[in-house]
Each structure stands twice: as C-alpha cells, then as structure tokens.
Amino acid sequence: MTNLLTSSLSRRAVLQAAAVGVVGINPALRAAVYAGGSDAPEKTEVKIGFIPLTDCASVVMASVLGIDKKYGVKIIPTKEASWAGVRDKLVTGELDFAHVLYGLVYGVHLGVSGPKKDMAVLMTLNQNGQAITLSKKLADKGAVDGASLAKLMALEKREYTFAQTFPTGTHAMWLYYWMAAHGINPIKDAKVITVPPPQMVANMRVGNMDGYCVGEPWNHRAIIDGIGVTAVTTQDIWKDHPEKVLGTTSELVKKYPNTARAVTAAIIEAGQWIDASLGNKNKMAETIAEKSYVNTSVDAINQRILGRYQNGMGKTWDDANHMKFFNEGLVTFPYLSDGMWFLTQQKRWGLLKDHPDYLAVAKQINQIDIYKQAATAAKAPIPKDAMRSSKLIDGVVWDGRDPKKYADNFKIHA
C-alpha cells in the first residue's frame, strides 16, 4: 500500500486488513484501507469474461463467496461463447478482465491472434487439468495413445482431423507438442480445426473430428457419453504446466492499477480456498456445474478435480498432478519463463515469422510487480525466481535461458 502517510496505521496492518477483509474490521482501519486514497480501487465493479470450463472456478468463486468485497471490488462473471469472443471483448474494453488462454494474450500482444493490442497477464489461474481425447472409433482401431495413433495414421492413410480451441492458445500447443513428440507433424500430417470448448463433445459425437485437446470437463464428459477416450493428460505432457491466466489490456492496468491489484488478490484467495480441502473442491464443483457457469453434471467436474481419473477403457488412477488453483502460491505466480514458452511454440509452428525478444515481451506482459502486491495482500507466498525449469514429455528441458535455441532445435516444426 502507498500514500497512507495520514494514517497512524502501519503498512503491515493495512495489508493484513486487506487480507482479512473489510467486513467486521475496525471502522478506522477499514477507512484507511478503502477511503478513497491512492490505494482504493479506481473501478469498483468489473466484468470478467469466462468460458464454461472447470478452470474458471477461482474467478467464479471469488464472486460467489464474496471474497471480491474484501478487496473493495465487485466481480461480475460474464459467460462467453468462444475464445475469439473473449479476445474481441477484451480488446474493445467490453470486458475488463478475462479467464483466458495464456497463448491468446501473447498472440494478441504480438498481433498474430487478431487485432494487435498491448496486453497484460496478472496471474496464472491454474496448472494442469486439460487432456487430449481421441474418438471411440479411433480407440476401437487401437489408437489409444500417441504411439498407437501414429501407427494407425501411418497404416490407414486419410485426412485426420483434430480440434483445438484457439490457434495460439494452450490447447493448440499441447496438441501439437504431443503429436510431434510421437513423430506426427500436426501441420503437415493432419487437419487441425478450431472449436469452442463447450462444442467439442457435440462435434465429436457427429464425427467432425478424430480427436481434440480441451480443458475439463469436456474430456471426462466424452467418456461419460461413451464417445471418446483420454489418450493423455496435459500434466503428462508437462507437469504443472501453466494454463489459463487472468488477462486484461495494458491500458486497463495503467488506468486502474489498484483495481487490477484488488481483483488479482481476490482471485488468488479464491484459488487458495479451492485447494484448501476436498470439501471446498466439491462445493466448487457443485457451484460451477450450474447452468449459469459450466452447465453440466457435477460428476463431470468433481472426479478429475479430486484427481480421480479414468481413461474410458477400463483404466482408473489417482493423479496427484490434477488441476490446481494455488498450491502454496506456485500456481498463481506469472512466471516469465511460462509466457516465453508459448512464444517459442508460436515460432516453432510458424505463427511467429521471426524470433521476438522473448524475455522483453514476457516482462511487458506479465505484471510481476502488481502480482507481488496482490499476493502480499492475500497472504500468499511469492516464489523467489520469475523463471522455472521443467522437463516435458519428450525429455527436453525448458528453463527460459536460451529461447531462440530451444525454439529452433525441434526436429518437427511448421
């Protein structure tokens, strides 16, 4: 907090008040926190767009549980039909913030996802919890994972169609990376189409695609409906991978920095609440299953959110690397290396024609300073390093140190 010189309260006391909440605290302390000073949210009611997916949960629960009020804002979750729609409404300002694909934000910033606009990532909303589904017809022919899919595609020559949710988004990158790790060039060996997440199951049911990559609950839904099988989870492609982010425009952050901080703090706390217990996860599943949010059965959501997986072919397992929303602050921190990774893949697949200044772009987009202020208000631990290291499914390590070399070293590319 800044500019509280007129108050006898310490910076620590004010931050603690923000974390504890406005309701029930000392009136003088409440006034110090939100009394129209420079720290008060400039805009107190915000629209946050979301797509009907399990990983919209921390945005929804911040509103439903009233956590947003503790930070002086009112979040209005706004259900959207497609990622392209989310993009357009963010760019025009119709939405203030959005639950949005990491790679979409970066693509818009660089002008390869539609209109070019300076963008901002305030936090990561979740890690893990997506999957690649193959049709039951493919599974019946023996294609149940990457290796067997590659074998079938080599034996039975035809046009194979796969779907992702947005050309520069996370699901496109997981799909491409997985296929390439098994020797399939997703650009040359297959037809890849874009389908909004809630429409995946219906499109597979009528035979419009052989497989798709999407977030939950639309992979588990395909199993429940008997039309698809889970070939791989995205956490098996990259353990603890970044997924959705809280995105907005750079313009909004500059105009309403306190609002950006307050909204981020509220959603960090909501993620913390979700991860805190099995009971909270079940309550979340019941809430977001409602028609106004994801509009599906609770059992389509709650099994995988609890780490209880099945592949649709008789195999069941408990997955410790299921979707997470907080994990002691390791989920929510917007690592620079995470954003840079999406740039390397956009270059790999020809979406970017030239190498960008990877680190500079990530520093422009990922609002590390605002995140740290929000995390302090929400009493969330902050990782020491803005870069992290991970080994992906093909054994290649990504640590952000030499992104140009990393992007150029893949044997299979566009």
pLDDT in tens, 17-68: 333 333 333 333 333 344 345 799 999 999 999 999 999 999 999 999 999 9
Helix, strand, coil share (%) of the chain residues, nearest 5 = 45, 15, 40
In angstroms, the CA 133 to CA 138 distance is: 10
pLDDT score recorded for residue 38: 76
In angstroms, the CA 347 to CA 343 distance is: 6
Residue linked to tokens 């299953």: 289
Angle between helices 336-348 and 358-365 (to 10 degrees): 130
- Is the confidence at residue 14, as pLDDT, over 70? no
Confidence of residue 5 (pLDDT cuts 50, 70, 90): very low
CA separation, residue 82 to residues 5, 55, 165, 212, 287 (Å): 46, 15, 8, 16, 21
Percentage of the chain beyond pLDDT 90 is 90
Burial category of 321 from C-beta neighbours within 10 Å (exposed 0-12, middle 13-18, buried 19 and up)? middle
pLDDT score recorded for residue 12: 33
What structural domains and CATH numbers belong to the chain?
11-127+242-308+324-334+356-384 (3.40.190.10)
pLDDT score recorded for residue 37: 58
In angstroms, the CA 264 to CA 260 distance is: 6
In angstroms, the CA 229 to CA 249 distance is: 38
- Is the confidence at residue 158, as pLDDT, over 70? yes
Candidates 220, 110, 213; CA nearest to 162 is 213
Is the bond leading into 217 cis (omega within 30 degrees of zero)? yes
Burial category of 340 from C-beta neighbours within 10 Å (exposed 0-12, middle 13-18, buried 19 and up)? buried
Q: For 134-153, how does the pLDDT look when each residue is reduced to its tens digit (9 = 90+)? A: 999 999 999 999 999 999 99
pTM of the model: 0.91
